[in-house]
Amino acid sequence: MSPVDAARLASLTREFLAAHPPATTDRTAFLRARFDAGLAWVHFPQGLGGLDAPRSLQAAVDAELEAAGAPDNDPRRIGIGLGMAAPTILAYGTEEQKRRFLRPLWVGEEVWCQLFSEPGAGSDLAALATRAVRDGDHWVVDGQKVWTSSAHTARWAILVARTDPDLPKHQGITYFLCDMTDPGVEVRPLRQITGEAEFNEVFLTGVRIPDAHRLGAVGQGWEVARTTLMNERVSIGGMRLPREGGMIGPVAATWRARPELRGPALHDRLLTLWVEAEVSRLTAERLRQQLAAGRPGPEGSGMKLAFARLNQRISALEVELLGEEGLLYDDWTMRRPEHVDFTGREAGYRYLRAKGNSIEGGTDEVLLNVVAERVLGLPAEPRDDKDLPWKDLAR
């Protein structure tokens, strides 16, 4: 196939729609066919959902398909797979792994979760204690993971585990793809301040993972995990939004619709936050354009940090604007949602849910270090434990 430019891609999209009319094609069949046609991730290789086209052309494809009434793949439900597992599998997976996992992941037939954080190794992920011991063609995994979004609906998980405790903490880690239906995997809900259990804790007891489901080389897990984390931060902080998309939209709408709630001090704060939200939206667009040239870098950490802090300030203003009404929302009962919802539902929910933005995808403190060291070039903080064997670290 000749190189795919915008005109060629537009022609391919129209040909695809003519062959698969959205109104008369089964949803799953449509999504599978879209993947096979290379219109899922246009920048991915041919045969893996893409056409080796510039990443910047994806938006035009999405817009044309949406205008034609095509179904989407419910990206909120499968966001971890799309934003974290897929780019990592593409970067480090074998050809067999790519062909096995990417298509059902994008179509939404298999939901993914992330088994990274642990009770004793949250911000310091490299200090993780979950062990994986080689047993022939398998690895036997024992440990506990926490704050796992969507574990209760996931079929697969990206997992990091310690395979060599004699090495320093960053060097003795290996990355795996874990089948969540395997014996020894137990998922328990973690009820949050919102009343729901979007997060989970996961216990792994004698879980046998085939070596064929190892991603990257033995001991390469930290490098592979960094690819995942950089993509995660971009997917959270750099998501595509229209003007007044995200958290700023509902509070701006309330301000316009209910003049009795307005006050001079609140007006100035809302105007400041509206401008900051628009600056953040445009900066995220620029970041996505930079991604067209390669993998995400540390700049995504800055975007995710800004996303968290801005969401919290906007949601606090909305609750203050609404007064007592802002503390209410429709359902405080324990629910197990199928997707992460950063900005949905009522003001009271948004205010409480936004508190988690400072933790998920990397804590604010960790991201400040990333920005300081890798973006601004400031001296690194002293890390006395960096070269010590993991087994000798205080835990």
198 part of the active site: no
When computed from its CA atoms, the radius of gyration of the chain, rounded to whole angstroms, is 22
Three-state secondary structure along 59-71? HHHHHHHHHCCCC
The Cα–Cα gap between 28 and 109 comes to: 9
Backbone angles phi, psi at 196, to 5 degrees: -95, 175
Q: List the catalytic residue out of 118, 196, 201, 232.
A: 232
| Strand pairing report for 112-115 and 156-162 | parallel
Neighbours of 184 (CB within 10 A): 13
Q: CA geometry: angle at 88 spanning 353 and 369, to 5°?
A: 55
What six digits make up the tokens of 151? 């574990």
Q: Up-side HSE of residue 314: CA atoms within 13 Å toward CB?
A: 33
**Could you tell me which residues come within 8 angstroms of residue 303 by beta carbon, excluding any fewer than 6 positions away?**
233, 234, 237, 238, 280, 283, 284, 287
Active-site residue list:
232
